Structure 1
Amino acid sequence: MHSIGAGTMFAFVVLTCNAHATFSDAVKDVPFDDLGKKPHDLPYSIWQLTEHTRIAQNDILEFCSNKNYKEKNWPADYWPKKNAPSNESEWKNSLQQIKDDLDAFIDLLKDDDADIYVPFEHGNGQNLMREALLIVDHTSYHTGEILIIRRLLGNWKKS
């Protein structure tokens, strides 16, 4: 029902972003000891921005795929309390869930039975395309913040 290639185009925009660093680029090879640092009194660490991105993206996926979606409390449910992950496994799991949830969202867009422009019955006028654009916009915003923190910490070297 949707335009041919809408899901593929979304995947291309999110995963390739040839003009800018991707989220994956931004979080690749961050030294573990730097994940909780907040240079120059910035309000968030790389870990907090990454976890916030994960939580928000998962929330959008849940909203789009679950008619019984329950809204989270803003901002308490969207931001981690800790500055840093407890261990490297927690960091890797967060990154993997971001990837897995993005793949699941792209699958929603690629579903031939989905009309990406029709509002959800359980929302307030939102549709799949709007939520896709929200993921792109939100992730891009926080990717930029992560890159700034990495530059301030002196550990960003784009290849």
Structure 2
Amino acid sequence: MSTRNAKPPATHTDLAEHLCWSLRGGYAHCGVETAFREVDGGVQGRLLDRFEHSLWQLLEHLRLCQRDLIDYSVRPDHVSPEHPVGYWPATPEPPSLVAYDEALAAYLADREELCGSIAGGDLLTPFPHAAGPDGEPRTLLRTATIALDHQAYHIGQAVTLRKALGCWPG
């Protein structure tokens, strides 16, 4: 679901609504759909000089990290992957012809799951099962802002890479 042209929340007083609107591509963000959709299979796994990752790697990294954030937030028994290897695909190329599109669909479905948690949850109550190394509480607001910040960073990388690859639609 793209909300690129949708209007922002009416008053911005509803923080949960604003966070979800932003995650879906509000204001400064072109959105994951625009950054990663309609990429020819021939360039999904292509590496360029001066670029550390392929579009496939960026997309799959976003998917893996977002899924980890969601699971960490809702499952007391969740164990995060080993960092950094558990958060990046092993190769620059997708493992199959459909893997890229499946990863994008999974990312978007997971984003809607995250937005459902944000909209229906208490943003400020600490998770009973999670605290930082220094005892810092972990909250749904923290999860949402990490997801938003991380997504924006890698969308920027993807847009720059697509321009360098000559496959940016804009």
- TM-score w.r.t. the length of structure 1 is 0.90
Higher RCO (C-alpha 8 Å, min separation 6): 1
Q: Which of 14, 17, 21 is 1:8 aligned to?
A: 17
Q: Which of 112, 119, 125 is 1:118 aligned to?
A: 125
Task: Report percent identity of matched pairs.
Answer: 24
1:77 aligns with 2:81: no
In terms of fraction of residues, the more helix-rich structure is 1
What is the DSSP-based 3-state SS (H/G/I as helix, E as strand, rest coil) of the residue aligned with 2:66?
helix
1:37 aligns to what?
46
Shift of 1:85: 0.9
Q: Is the 8 A contact 1:38 1:149 kept in 2?
A: no
Shift of 1:147: 0.7
Shift of 1:92: 1.3
The one-letter code sitting in structure 2 at the alignment partner of 1:87 is S
RMSD of aligned alpha carbons: 1.6
Which whole-Å CA distance do the structure 1 matches of 2:14 and 2:74 have between them? 20
2:111 aligns to what?
102
The one-letter code sitting in structure 2 at the alignment partner of 1:74 is H
Which whole-Å CA distance do the structure 1 matches of 2:86 and 2:101 have between them? 21
* Gaps in structure 1 of 5+ consecutive residues: none
**How many residues matched?**
154
Shift of 1:87: 2.5
2:95 aligns to what?
86
1:7-52 residue CA offsets vs partner (Å, 9 max, x unmatched): 3211211113233311111012111110111112421100001000
